[in-house]
Amino acid sequence: MTQLLIGFVIALAVGLTGIGGGSFTVPALVLIVGLPAGTAVGTAFVYAGVMRLIAAPFYLLGKHIHARYLWLLLQGAIPGLLIGTYLLRLLSASASSPVVVIILGALLTASSCISFARPLQNPQFARKNSHWLRWFSIPIGIEAGFSSAGAGILGTLLLLNYSEMPPAQVVGTDLLFGLALAVLGSLFHWQFGSLSGPVLLQLLEGGIPGVLLGCLLARVVPARKLKTAIALIAVFAGFQLLWSGTQALMVKHAKDSGKSSVQTTK
């Protein structure tokens, strides 16, 4: 029942605003459901991919896509996605889980806080320096690979402030960008086996009606205010991950110190 409710609420937010899938899903799966960090990211990737796939026709209908900018973003983000996924797998295997939780919390908090930063707009930048888009998208891909978040918020901010595209075209282009990363990220994590099938099915069971309802309500609900609320909740969730990971790391360190003392005494 908990996973159904989580899936519905997050999908509703995605349907209403087009963002928030990874930023919400990973903290919920770690803090509420109790999944390991690596498994939570992989499960969130597949879930976000399905939700974006369902929402895409609603957002793309009647809106244009800037194919060249999309292709440039993907050229940088896909290698970044591989790097981020590899780093997550490496840390999950060689380091303690609390460390991964702390890093996830820091990334989610930072990417959500960026949405409140005063934009330094340069609408002609991409037109004159479009080749830079592939470099700017590398860190977006790395964060997406490590935390399953970032493509929606960071991609939207990049295109909105540094390209000449109108907001509708930004939404359409970024939606396809996030969808592509979600699909590729899902394949990578599926290959590594870092996802929970039962949890994913329950998330989708609640998420599919949630995203459909959100898309239908998107035309009458003020998206700007909702995005601000979503960013605030995502910041709070990121801080919760930081706190939880730090507490777990302190407990682990205390246990390790106790074991070392016992061994020394012997």
Tell me phi and psi for residue 95, to 5 degrees: -115, 170
Please tell me the number of Cα atoms within 13 Å of 82 on its side-chain side: 5
Q: Which residue has the tokens 């970044």?
A: 80
- pLDDT means per 10 residues, the chain with 266 residues, are 84 74 77 82 85 80 79 92 84 67 77 67 76 86 78 76 78 83 82 78 90 80 65 74 76 66 57
- Give me the count of residues in the chain: 266
What is the gyration radius of the CA atoms in the chain, in angstroms?
A: 19
> Sign of the CA dihedral 262, 264, 265, 266?
positive
3-state secondary structure of 120: coil
User: What is the pTM for the complete model shown?
Assistant: 0.75
Q: Token digits for 210?
A: 């949630």
pLDDT tens digit string along 9-38?
888 877 776 666 667 788 888 888 888 877
Residues 6+ apart with CB under 8 A from 190: 42, 46
Residue ranges covered by each domain of the chain = 2-258
148 in Cβ contact with 87 (< 8 Å)? no
